[in-house]
Structure 1
Amino acid sequence: MNFVSIDALRVACQDLPAGDAAAAEAVARRQDTLTKPQGSLGRLETLVAWLARWQGREVPKLDKVKVVVFAGSHGVTAQGVSAFPPEVTAQMVANFAAGGAAINQLAKAAGAELDVVPLRIERPTADFTLAPAMDEQDFLAAVARGYETVEDGTDLLCLGEMGIGNTTAAAAIASALFGGVEQWVGRGTGVDDAGLARKTAAIEVALKLHGEVLHDPLKAAAAVGGRELAAILGATLAARHKGVPVLLDGFVCTAAVAPMMRLHAHGLDHALAAHVSAEAGHRGLLAAMNLKPLFDLGMRLGEASGACLAVNVLRSALACHTGMASFADAGVSGKDEGPA
């Protein structure tokens, strides 16, 4: 889908299907008949209902699971905000293609298909301490590229990113949408104290420079974000329109979709936070966006690694739901309600 303007994109972010409540209710009813105390599998039970709602199926499936990693380059790296040089972005894209990254192994283990989508990585976005990271056309093109990666018939989409400098962009978006600065700034790839100070200073400069547009979530994402973040936004929007549930990765991925939540109170109901990362601002950002992560393993890699790992949790939840016997089928006595 090509968005002709930010206003057109805004309308698309606000005109969202609500999901299939009847499918979710059917799952809940079946859960109550299975050979276990009601609710004893905790979130495993509600995860299946979530899948059903957003797939529009009373019996969800996970046959076609896609992992999409978007890669982008950031001009703000000129401010010394990363511990790694900007050329690492292209080098890691090559590593993904060669099968040598963590996400390659995790996708294989999860039975998921991996796509890596570089977004003009040879041409970094503008240094947002000096100019908007992207003009409207560049931003919309990245959103559209993300949107078109979501294939019809996908059962579950895992989203992630790669881009030296993108934790700075993510912190800048969080600052623009939720206020404050320092609580969103973390060490990213491992910057020292001086590097952390440079990140904070760069974001403060950017907020002053672009202040007049930061009230608009989409214009803020263009001004201080990055192409891979814009593409994640586009893919998440496409997933909502196409009935595909989404697993979000870490801090950068969460910041990338924050504009959808700001534009629609239920804009991210079809998306789950896979984990809370070790990046400093992620826990607070999840809380601000009312997202409850599935696990906390101290991960901070990106690459959709946490999202992909969560596929195994969903597979287990679905296996229990579809494979367990009911009390009646198994000849097991149900909960004793006492004498009439």
Structure 2
Amino acid sequence: MQFIDQARVAIKAGRGGDGIVAFRREKYVPAGGPSGGDGGRGGDVLLVADANLQTLLDFKYKRLFAADDGRRGGPNRRTGASGQPLLIRMPCGTEVRDARTGIVLGDLTEPGDALLVALGGRGGLGNAHYLSNRNRAPEKATEGRDGEEWLLQLELKLLAEVGIIGLPNAGKSTLISVLSSARPRIADYPFTTLVPNLGVVRRPSGDGTVFADIPGLIAGAAQGAGLGHEFLRHIERTRLLIHLVDASSDALVEDVQVVERELSAYGHGLIERPRIAVLNKIELLDRLDLEQKQAALESHLGSPVLAVSAATSANLNRLLAVVWKQLGLRDGDAQTDQSTDQSS
């Protein structure tokens, strides 16, 4: 399935039905008077969050959505049928903006959330409304009004509590594939991950926490370089970031600084987001080299740095324990399956 996280669509609510001019013509009702009915109301347009959708792919091929118009009124003061509301389903986490002004109209985060984005037009009045002492046979009726029209910008921001970030080929996809049932594409060259990957990491209690593997960042990503700039929005909603660093690199501090600069340049408070620094691929280093690199990185960050191996699952239990603690979970939930903790 193709992952599409941005789309622009035009929506149009239904037009109201026209009122009509009619008079009662029954045989035994002399001077029956006006009986023209009102037009029905045009259908509204609503956006509804659907947990079964994961992408905005549907809106790549269909860009115009229109609700039903109201029906015209009938004789004997019959009101025309109203147009059926149009429900447009989209994935949870979709932010809706007015494409012309950029104003946020709403944010669909929970399944079943609904957002009314266009009101249907009001139906016209039949001539029965214009009966008065001065005009006993009005021949006036009004047309229905047009429904609202909007050009909407849709942006999908994944709903994940933990985001895994880092330079290309830092081992992010390997990590999420080991921690969860996600099966992203994994290879030994940069930019293997072209779209964000979601995985649910289970706790012994049976609950799960959603982790997101974000495509690798490079210098200038916030300004459009590489692939990461397309997906930085997906970590806006995360509560915690795992900053994965390739332990085999000869410039660990510089690697960390590149990612930090991009988080800062993108804004939205990402640089202040709680972050766990993790050295990955420790199976490639001897103990002395690892200790030196870990100490250098801790000196730069001013906080502890975890050392793990996603390939061999070494110390992943310790990493998850820190994640659960940072997320404020109960101590009992922080006890993870010991099978994921294999010392290097």
Tell whether the structures are fold-level matches, with TM greater than 0.5: no
Q: Return the structure number with greater strand share.
A: 2
Q: Return the structure number with greater helix share.
A: 1
TM-score by length of 1: 0.28
